[in-house]
Amino acid sequence: MNITNEERQTLINLANEARQHAYVPYSNYPVGASIRTKSGRIYTGVNIENAAYPHTMCAERVAIFKAVSEGETEFEVIAVVTNNGGSPCGGCRQVMSEFGLDTVVLIADGEGKLQKELTVSELLPEAFTPAHLL
């Protein structure tokens, strides 16, 4: 999939703006995500922490679940922004793989600078997919 520099930066900026709404009273590590579907719609998400830590939800999954709840299951690109350009966690990688190993993943820092661009397949080699359930 070809994505222009302008499209990259727009998605990164949307994810960075979304970070302002992250609920992170424990880690103080705001994460924002924006995902563009194959139909062209964009959804954003933020991490939402919980005092019972295992119930915290990551920004990537929030954006994906918002899209899926609106009937979108085919994604082109997801941008993830953290202060230091941190990579998605294993759980988010697995959720991303459910909806397409070719989805482009943009990882950027809090200044909006792209740190890394790769596919879900590159982010999660040998992913467990629905095909494994057959």
Provide the annotated active-site residues: 60
β pairing state of 75-81 and 114-119 = unpaired
E strand map for 1-134: 32-37, 42-46, 75-81, 104-108, 114-119
Q: HSE, CB side, 13 Å, CA atoms: give it for residue 105.
A: 26
List C-alpha distances in Å: 64 to 27, 51, 58, 86, 126.
22, 23, 10, 18, 21
